[in-house]
Amino acid sequence: MNLQEIARHIDYHQKNGIEMEKVTLNYPSLKVDDAYEIQKICIDEAGSRGERLVGWKMGLTSAAKQKMVGVNEAIYGRLTSVMEMDSPELSMKGLIHPKVEPELAFILKKDLKGDRVQPRDVWLATECIVPAVEVIDSRYKNFSFTLEDVVADNASSTKFLLGNQAFSPYHTEWDKLKVTISRNNELQHEGYGRDVLAHPVRSVAELVRMLSKEGIGLKEGMVILTGGVTEAVNVQEGDTIRVDYENLGTLDMTVTE
């Protein structure tokens, strides 16, 4: 099994927004560690095209998300500069079957590393928390995959939109924050910050612990998506999405051609 070759195959489908068969169909013995290695090779490949690593995401950190895709483990993915949206307009160009989901993003003011990182370390390293919307677009047919497949496909990472307003970590009870997502003015899903590993701060701590196995950590200035609070919502051209973060405001996204 040649991980470089598998990575090149996935990178091609990511870059061009073309769907593909699951990697595990051809490589049923693929291990999670191999899948993370493939993910890394794909990002190095994107790096050679000028994309910069700007952060990380946790995925499948809520029961709603795990149930939706049938994978019961938290995973991580890498966020690059081309994934960051600079306007709330999502173009369908180059996308396969995108879904959007509400997220809470941590922005770091210090590096974080180590296998014993606790929530208090995360608080000390957090500059602010920003409401965010993530666009996921699995490269696999029918959005169907195993744990190994989705890890190799960079946890379905595609785009993310950060809200304009940053919030102090200290004046909101993030676990009690209610989040709802509507499409075309119809409520789709609702959840609470605590649906993300009891508290989103724990998602960042878990990410650091997972990365420490690879000998890496988080860097100052990075953005960390802590994982979809609710199930994701399918979108198509013409849709408008509104995510409501209670007293912290709303984030809107419109889907264009």
Q: Which residues bind Mg ion (CB under 5 A)?
A: 134, 228
* 14 is a site residue for ligand OOG (CB under 6 A): no
* 102 is a site residue for ligand OOG (CB under 6 A): no
What's the length of the chain? 257
Buried b (16+ CB within 10 A) or exposed e, 57-81: bbbbbbebbbebbebeebbbbbbbe
User: How many other C-beta atoms are found inside a 10 Å radius of the C-beta of residue 42?
Assistant: 24
Give the residue, chosen from 42, 69, 79, 151, that forms a contact with ligand OOG under the rule CB under 6 A: 69
* 228 is a site residue for ligand OOG (CB under 6 A): yes
The CB-of-102 to ligand OOG minimum distance in angstroms stands at 9
Do residues 35 and 25 make contact, with C-beta atoms less than 8 angstroms apart? no
What residues between 150 and 189 interact with ligand OOG by CB under 6 A? 150, 155-156
Residue 149's H or E segment, with its range, is helix 147-152
Residue from 54, 55, 207, 215 nearest 122 by CA:
207
155 binds, among ligand OOG, Mg ion, none (CB under 5 to 8 A by kind): ligand OOG
Give the residue, chosen from 11, 45, 134, 206, that forms a contact with ligand OOG under the rule CB under 6 A: 134
Specify the 3-state DSSP secondary structure of 257.
Answer: coil
Copy the structure tokens of residue 58.
Answer: 């946790």
The CB-of-157 to Mg ion minimum distance in angstroms stands at 8
Q: Which stretch binds ligand OOG (CB under 6 A): 14-22, 23-31, 109-117, 149-157?
A: 149-157
42 binds, among ligand OOG, Mg ion, none (CB under 5 to 8 A by kind): none
